[in-house]
Structure 1
Amino acid sequence: MTSANDPLPLPANVRLIATDLDGTLLRDDKSVSDRTVAALAAAEEAGIEVFFVTGRPARWMDVVSEHVHGHGLAICANGAAVVDLHTGGRLIQARPLERSTALDVVGTLREAAPGTSFAVELSTGIHYEPEYPPFHLDPGATVATAEKLLNEDGPDSGAPVLKLLAHHGELTPDGFLDLARIAAGQLASFTRSSPTALLEVSGPGVSKASTLALCCAQRGISSDEVVAFGDMPNDIEMLTWAGTSYAMGNAHPDVIAAASGRTVANNEDGVAIVIEQILAARGDGPDRAS
Structure 2
Amino acid sequence: MTLPALIACDVDGTLFDENETISPRTRDAVRAAVAAGAQFVVATGRPPRWIRPVVEALGFAPIAVCANGAVVYDPANDRVLSSRTLAVDTLAELAELAARVIPGAGLAVERIGERAHDTATPQFISSPGYEHAWLNPDNTEVSIDDLLSAPAIKLLIRKAGARSADMAAALAKHVGIEGDITYSTNNGLVEIVPLGISKASGVEEIAKPQGITRDEVVAFGDMPNDIPMLLWAGHGVAMGNAHPDVVAAADEVTAPNTDDGVGRVLERWWL
* 1:17 positional shift: 0.5
CA distance in 2, matches of 1:129, 1:278: 48
Q: Given residue 144 of structure 2, which amino acid in structure 1 is its aligned partner? A: A
* 1:138 positional shift: 5.1
TM-score by length of 2: 0.91
How many percent identity over aligned positions?
38
Match for residue 99 of structure 2?
A: 110
CA distance in 1, matches of 2:103, 2:177: 20
Match for residue 200 of structure 2?
A: 209
Pair 1:186 & 2:177 matched: yes
* 1:274 positional shift: 0.4
Relative to structure 1, the CA distance from residue 23 to residue 45 in structure 2 (aligned partners, 3 Å threshold; closer, same or farther) is same
CA distance in 2, matches of 1:60, 1:191: 19
SS in 1 for 2:246: helix
Match for residue 198 of structure 1?
A: 189
Match for residue 119 of structure 1?
A: 108
Pair 1:148 & 2:136 matched: no
TM-score by length of 1: 0.85
CA distance in 2, matches of 1:186, 1:147: 22
Alignment of 1:1-290 (within 5 A): 11-66=1-56, 67=58, 69=60, 72-88=62-78, 90-123=79-112, 124=121, 125-134=123-132, 137=136, 139=138, 141-152=139-150, 160-279=151-270, 285=271
CA distance in 2, matches of 1:45, 1:146: 48
* 1:210 positional shift: 1.1
SS in 1 for 2:174: helix
Whether the 8 Å contact between 2:131 and 2:160 is mirrored in structure 1 is no
Whether the 8 Å contact between 2:163 and 2:186 is mirrored in structure 1 is no
Q: Deviations over 1:191-227 (max 9, x none)?
A: 0001212001100101101111121111111110000
Gaps of 5+ in 1: 1-10, 153-159, 280-284, 286-290
Match for residue 4 of structure 1?
A: none
CA distance in 2, matches of 1:130, 1:69: 38
* 1:108 positional shift: 1.0
Relative to structure 1, the CA distance from residue 178 to residue 167 in structure 2 (aligned partners, 3 Å threshold; closer, same or farther) is same
Gaps of 5+ in 2: 113-120
Relative to structure 1, the CA distance from residue 138 to residue 131 in structure 2 (aligned partners, 3 Å threshold; closer, same or farther) is closer
CA distance in 2, matches of 1:83, 1:148: 26
* 1:262 positional shift: 0.4
Q: Given residue 15 of structure 2, which amino acid in structure 1 is its aligned partner? A: L
CA RMSD of aligned residues (A): 1.6
